[in-house]
Structure 1
Amino acid sequence: MQIATPVDIPGGTLSTLYPDLIGHVTNEHDVIMQLVRELFGAAPSNFNGPENPIDETGHSLEDSYLIPQEQALEISNQMKKVAYNLTPYPMIEQCPASSSALSAFGYSSINSLLDIEFLDGSIYRYSGITPSIFTGFINASSQGGYFNSNIRNNYTTSQIE
C-alpha cells in the first residue's frame, strides 16, 4: 500500500503482473505531490478529498491522509483488497503425515487453509478448514481416513502443484 509516493507506476513492474496486490492513494490537494508530478513526473492523484486547514501542504500522513474519514476509509478499503488477494505459499512442509496416502501437510489458521501433499507428489489446497477440523485431522489415528471422511469433497479444493 503506497500513500503519496513519488513514483510514476505505484508498485513498479510488479503492479503489471499482480495489479490486485498494489494499492495507492494520493490526494488531489497534496501540494508536495503536485510539485513532484510537475517537476519529475509521478502517478496522478486518485483521491479528491477536502482541503485540510490543519495541514496546508496536504502531505502530512496523519493530518491529511489518515485523520480525514473518507480518505482513511479509501486507504483501508484498498488495504483490505490487497490483503484478500494475498495467497500463502504452499505450506506442505510443516508436518509429515502418518498415512499410507498422504506425504505431508501444512495449515494456516489465519486463512483457514490446509495444504496436503499426496504420495504421488500432487498438492491440493482446501479452503475453509476450521481449527477444530484441523485438530481432528492432526490427532486422527488414520489421517487418510479422517481426510476421506471429513475433508475430501466437503471443502473448496484447488490443485497448487
Structure 2
Amino acid sequence: MHRQAVDSSVLVEVGYDRSRRVLEVKLVNGSVYQYLGVPPKDFFGLLAAESQGRFYNLRIKPNYDYREVNG
C-alpha cells in the first residue's frame, strides 16, 4: 500500500485503501499497523488534523481492529 509522509511526533507515514477501508500507519518506532473498517472521513480527518498523533490515539487506535504488518 502506498503511504505518504506526515509531520507528526507519533506517525511517520499513513496510507489508505478506500475499496477495502484499510488505514495503514507507520509509527516512529518503525512498527506498521493496518486498521480495518476505517471510513474515508476518518482517514481524511487524520490527514487534516492539527495533531495527527492525537487524532490517531483518540479516534483511530481505540476504535478499529488492527493487525501488525511487516514494514
TM-score (norm 2): 0.92
Whichever of the two has the greater Rg, that structure is 1
Counterpart of 1:155, as a letter, is Y
Please name the residue that 2:44 is paired with: 135
- Provide Cα deviations, 1:13-47, integer angstroms capped at 9, x if missing partner: xxxxxxxxxxxxxxxxxxxxxxxxxxxxxxxxxxx
Secondary structure, aligned partner of 2:30: coil
The within-5 A match list for 1:1-161 is: 91=1, 93-161=2-70
Secondary structure, aligned partner of 1:158: strand
Which protein has the bigger strand share? 2
TM-score (norm 1): 0.42
Contact 2:14 2:26 in 1 (8 A): yes
Question: Structure 1 runs of 4+ off > 2 angstroms?
Answer: none
Unaligned runs of 5+ in 2: none
Unaligned runs of 5+ in 1: 1-90
Shift in Å at residue 135 of structure 1? 1.1
Shift in Å at residue 101 of structure 1? 1.1
Secondary structure, aligned partner of 1:134: helix
The CA RMSD over aligned residues, in Å, is: 0.9
The structure showing larger relative contact order (alpha-carbon pairs under 8 Å, at least 6 residues apart) is 2
Which protein has the bigger helix share? 1
